[in-house]
Amino acid sequence: MLIQKDSKIGEVVAENFHAAKVFESHGLDFCCGGKRTIEDACRTKGVDTNSLLAELKKLNANNPSSTHFDKWEADFLTDYIINNHHAYVNNAVSTIEHHLQKVVSAHGARHPEVCSIESIFTELKNELLEHMAKEERMLFPYIKKLSFAMKNSIEMPAAPFGSVDNPIKVMESEHDNAGLLLKKMNALSDGYIPPQDACATFRVLYGELREFEEDLHMHIHLENNVLFPKAKTMEEKLNKIYTTL
């Protein structure tokens, strides 16, 4: 992929996931904001576009065998997201909540920001668990059926929600809200930098929250910028084939 100023951020990361670190280092959103061009995103954040492009080109040269998520088939990608990102969220939230409770109890009076972070994380957790359940119960099974129909040249049965674009719009809206909650926690914690008087649990907590944010960014990116476009394309192709017969 030739990376240029008008390249979309999400497409660049889909081609080479290492690019996510470059964008994050400059505060550029590659998941919910993945449909923006590099030039537009850089202008908004005050980042030098040419310098960023140079970093990306150097990255591609140093990582020639990077994972190309956009080359994966949709059914495999849904399983990957469930087994890696959904499983990570399900496993991580209870540990983070436990550490948040301990830190709030010990440090909340001196560091009220951690109390706010606890409230935001609880909201994020509840939304994510419901969101992932909807994906695993309705959207992802339909995407796998689309993939099966494409591979076997068969007509797709009508979905209960109409076009796949309908649940995708809902999922993307929920992704946007999750992104906003992440930004709030990041800002409150100064980028997850623990205060000078932080105990070991406080420092572990901020490390866990940073990891949680990084995972969720990639999680959302894979859905918004890779899986969902594949699903729309498959549905459109199947509709064209079987409405003209």
pLDDT (tens digit per residue) in 126-149: 999 999 999 999 999 999 999 999
pTM of the model: 0.80
14 or 96: whose pLDDT is higher? Answer: 96
1-10 average pLDDT score: 86
Q: Which DSSP symbol is given to 48? A: -
Give the whole-angstrom CA distance, residue 205 versus residue 96. 7
34-57 average pLDDT score: 91
Instruction: Answer positive or negative: Cα dihedral of 227, 230, 236, 237.
Output: negative
HSE-up (13 A, CA, CB side) for residue 113:
16
Alpha helix ranges (H) inside 135-157: 140-152
> In this model, does residue 69 exceed pLDDT 90?
no
Q: For residue 210, what are the contacts with CB-CB under 8 A and spacing of at least 6?
A: 191, 192
The CA angle 65-71-75, to the nearest 5 degrees, is 130
User: What is the band of 65 on the pLDDT scale with cuts at 50, 70, 90?
Assistant: very low
pLDDT (tens digit per residue) in 213-235: 999 999 999 999 999 999 999 99
pLDDT (tens digit per residue) in 74-129: 999 999 999 999 999 999 999 999 999 999 999 999 999 999 999 999 999 999 99
What per-residue confidence (pLDDT) applies to 66? 47
Q: Are 120 and 184 in contact (CB under 8 A)?
A: yes
Give the whole-angstrom CA distance, residue 194 versus residue 239. 53
User: What is the band of 37 on the pLDDT scale with cuts at 50, 70, 90?
Assistant: very high
HSE-up (13 A, CA, CB side) for residue 92:
24
